[in-house]
Amino acid sequence: MANAIEIIEVIKRFGATTALESLSLSISDNEFFTLLGPSGCGKTTLLRMIAGFEAVSAGEIRLFGQNIANLPPDRRPVNTVFQHYALFPHMSVLDNVGFGLKMKGVDLAKRRARAGQMLEIVHLSAFADRLPAQLSGGQQQRVALARALAPEPRVLLLDEPLSALDLKLRQTMRFELKQLQKDTGITFIFVTHDQEEALTMSDRIAVMSAGRLQQVGTAREIYEAPNNRFVADFIGETNILQVEAQPISQDLTRVTLPGGSTLDLPAPPTASGQHSLSIRPERLSLDPQGSLTARLEHVVYLGTDLHLMARLADGSPLVIRMQNSARTALPNEGEEIRISIEEGAARLLAD
Amino acid sequence: MAGAGPSGKSGKDAAWAPLALPLMLPTWAVIGFFLLLPVLLMVVYSFLTKEFRGGVIWEFSLAAYDQFFISRGLFGDEPASIEWTYIGIFWRSLWQAAVATGLCLLIGFPTAWFIATRPPASRSIWLFLVTIPYWVNLLIRTVSLKFLIRDNGPLNEFLMGIGLTSGPLPLVNTNLAVQLGLFYSYLPFMVLPIYAAVERYNFALSEAAADLYASRWRTLREITLPVVKPGIIAGCLLVFIPSLGAFLAPDLLGGAKTFMIGSLIDEQFKGSQGNWPFGAAISVILMSLVLLSLLFYARAQRSQK
């Protein structure tokens, strides 16, 4: 597969502070790629550099092989869906959608037709003559999407486009976006701080923090096999345990859990000494033969799920998630419980 | 304002409703006494007969309007034809005001843009600097300008000093001097509304335009200017309307050839040469002209939407 975007050792400095530190990344054609991270991690800066709103301090950005890092935004065949849509308030919906084509010199009849077609795709044909201010947030969002797609960009950039919508709408829009990406075959680069959004839509996700890429992979890879403590912590909920690691063979590491029991993990033998171990709450279960012992402190009722909040012997907290079922006999709060770890669920982390 | 009702919502509004009328009274009294009454007086006076030493005789007459529009020769015995003198003065005033407005826009827009794009903390300082000249009386400022641009004033001495001109440029008593004077008098009225519009302008719109292949120039023309247009129009009106009726700048900086409506009206109320009904009539015509053009403008705006 050809690479739609290649980011090669890109650095971004704002004055004395470095927003992005030598970042390299390849995004395939026809991919739904997500940049995920907390605010201030550099994900939006990276997106704005691809769009051309920010200059790179060093490095190259290649679009289908061509370095575009020094082109102004109006000469880059990429389009952006802005966080707050940035619809032109004095133009009708149709003119907004047709604006990119107008700037490209497409004649009136053709761009009207194309804009109309785009509005049909986003189900807004009936609103073509309205002004943006006369639309709801969700409708404005779709106009912004149609406007950015109308000139048929090679790559579509989306800067937290769903963050201003309410939850219900956000969930519907996720599927619509994903579907639209499949239908158009355009590469989407999606920026968000919402891990659920990232997990449900993306082909691949890049987790960013403090101006660095932490991990790039599919949703499953990132969730199941986080590289480091930040990724494990940021994506979903997890239990982080401090363990003692000891390499016992070429590819096995023995870790000593709080309470003394041990666990053999397939990990590089470099891992020795104090380490963090991540275990997802849903991979733990109550089991009289379990290897972990903890004291149950609190049960949180979430409807479909129950969260058991427990504390290990060394004082570290542990959350166990279990399905809510009438058949489950729950221990009392304050009682000692034994917990087993699902095979392959524990993962040693680089800090 | 003296009597606007409380601004709140639903329940509170209902409680205040019976008080709305009495609370509005002071406002209406002020507007009535200081705005409506004088305008009414002006309209009435324009239809009265003139008293030779100023003042009016309470007798209905169309003489003032007749004098404005119709010429009957020097001695009043020739066949009636259109009187071009005053229409000419009106036309010149319109032109002078338009040029002054254009100058204000040319300088005011970049100024406003500059201020609005500074960091928020320093904006108020820049705005303060723009308004500083207005702490000095308009008359004094206009006289100072005359000193600056007169034949042996600093400007001409400088120009001759650096050898750009051999003799003094005749600036005083020209149209240009009047335009400069008007420009200087009303510049902040252009800067402030445009500043307010640009300050509210969402620069993401410019980014969006650039993202959609618009060059800087096209972004300015297609997006930025249309979006800040209300501010530009407000600025133009605030400069054009007072410029049209101004009499200080034309009086002090212009000569006989640059006579403007303001001076013409001013003359009608001075000394024994005055003609109050005629002055009132010119004012009514000027006001109708301004109101009509505003009305047309408002209608054009509405039909556009």
Interchain proximity A80–B226, CB inside 8 Å: no
Q: How confident is the model at residue B8 (pLDDT cuts 50, 70, 90)?
A: very low
Both A105 and A175 in a single domain?
yes
Whether the CB of A104 is below 8 Å from some CB of chain B: the reply is yes
Which is it for the CA torsion A183, A189, A190, A193, positive or negative? positive
Both A196 and A330 in a single domain?
no
Both A223 and A243 in a single domain?
no
User: What pLDDT does A257 receive?
Assistant: 84
| Rounded-to-integer distance, Cα A137 and Cα A116, Å | 20
Closest partner CB to B210 (pick from A74, A104, A151): A74
Both A130 and A257 in a single domain?
no
Interchain proximity B213–A82, CB inside 8 Å: no
| Rounded-to-integer distance, Cα A262 and Cα A274, Å | 14
Both A288 and A329 in a single domain?
yes
CB under 8 Å to A331, separation ≥6 — which residues? A286, A296, A337
Polymer length of chain B: 305
User: What pLDDT does B248 receive?
Assistant: 85
Fold of domain B92-268? MetI-like fold (1.10.3720)
Instruction: Count CB atoms within 10 A of the CB of residue B168.
Output: 17
Residues of chain B with Cβ-Cβ distance to A72 below 8 Å are: 210
Both A33 and A84 in a single domain?
yes
User: What pLDDT does B298 receive?
Assistant: 84
Q: How far apart are the CA of B236 and the nearest CA of chain A, in angstroms?
A: 20
- Please state, rounded to an integer, the average pLDDT across all residues of chain B: 87
Residues of chain B with Cβ-Cβ distance to A80 below 8 Å are: 207-208, 211
Which residues 208-247 of B have a C-beta within 8 angstroms of A? 208-215, 218, 222-223, 226-227, 229
Worst-scoring range by mean pLDDT, B76-80, B145-149, B201-205?
B76-80
pLDDT in tens, B104-161: 999 999 999 999 999 999 999 999 999 888 888 889 988 888 888 888 888 888 888 8
* Contact indicator for B3, B25 with CB cutoff of 8 Å: yes
ipTM of the complex: 0.81
Whether the CB of A92 is below 8 Å from some CB of chain B: the reply is no
User: What pLDDT does A46 receive?
Assistant: 94
- Strand A187-192 versus strand A155-159 pairing type: parallel
pLDDT for B14 beyond 80: no
Dmax over Cα atoms in chain A, in whole Å?
76
Q: Which residue has the tokens 């609370």?
A: B23
Q: How confident is the model at residue B5 (pLDDT cuts 50, 70, 90)?
A: very low
Whether the CB of B202 is below 8 Å from some CB of chain A: the reply is yes
Both A78 and A223 in a single domain?
yes
pLDDT in tens, A133-170: 999 988 999 999 999 999 999 999 999 988 888 888 88
Last residue of a domain, one of A201, A229, A257: A229
Both A12 and A124 in a single domain?
yes
Q: Which of B218, B196, B200, B204 is nearest to A87 (CA)?
A: B204
Neighbour-count burial of B210, counting CB atoms closer than 10 A to its CB (0-12 exposed, 13-18 middle, 19+ buried): buried
| Rounded-to-integer distance, Cα A143 and Cα A322, Å | 42
Residues of chain A with Cβ-Cβ distance to B230 below 8 Å are: none
Q: What average pLDDT score do residues B77-106 get?
A: 90
Both A150 and A254 in a single domain?
no
Residues of chain A with Cβ-Cβ distance to B211 below 8 Å are: 51-53, 73-74, 78-80, 148
pLDDT for B6 beyond 60: no
Q: Which CATH number goes with the domain that contains A309?
A: 2.40.50.140
| Rounded-to-integer distance, Cα B210 and Cα B219, Å | 7
Which is it for the CA torsion A69, A74, A77, A82, positive or negative? positive
Residues of chain B with Cβ-Cβ distance to A89 below 8 Å are: 205, 227
Share of chain A above pLDDT 70, in %: 98
Interchain proximity B208–A86, CB inside 8 Å: yes
Worst-scoring range by mean pLDDT, A323-332, B6-15, B37-46, B68-77?
B6-15
pLDDT for A268 beyond 70: no
Q: How many domains does chain A have?
A: 2
Closest partner CB to A86 (pick from B207, B215, B229): B207
Share of chain B above pLDDT 90, in %: 47
Last residue of a domain, one of A178, A210, A229: A229
Q: What average pLDDT score do residues A217-227 get?
A: 90
Residues of chain B with Cβ-Cβ distance to A148 below 8 Å are: 211-212
Q: Which CATH number goes with the domain that contains A165?
A: 3.40.50.300
Residue A65: DSSP 8-state:
T
Both A212 and A261 in a single domain?
no
Q: How far apart are the CA of B230 and the nearest CA of chain A, in angstroms?
A: 11
* A104, closest residue in chain B (CA to CA): B213
Residues of chain A with Cβ-Cβ distance to B222 below 8 Å are: 99
pLDDT for B1 beyond 70: no
User: What pLDDT does B304 receive?
Assistant: 62
Whether the CB of A80 is below 8 Å from some CB of chain B: the reply is yes
User: What pLDDT does A43 receive?
Assistant: 93
Both A199 and A242 in a single domain?
no
pLDDT in tens, A234-246: 988 899 888 888 8
| Rounded-to-integer distance, Cα A264 and Cα A253, Å | 6
Q: How confident is the model at residue A249 (pLDDT cuts 50, 70, 90)?
A: confident
Q: How confident is the model at residue B4 (pLDDT cuts 50, 70, 90)?
A: very low
For residue A28, the enclosing domain spans 3-229
Share of chain B above pLDDT 70, in %: 94
Interchain proximity A88–B205, CB inside 8 Å: yes
pLDDT in tens, B159-189: 888 888 888 888 888 888 889 999 998 999 9
Which residues 122-181 of A have a C-beta within 8 angstroms of B? 147-148, 151
Interchain proximity B210–A88, CB inside 8 Å: no
Both A221 and A255 in a single domain?
no
Q: Can you give the residue ranges of every domain in chain B?
A: 1-46, 92-268
CB under 8 Å to B298, separation ≥6 — which residues? none
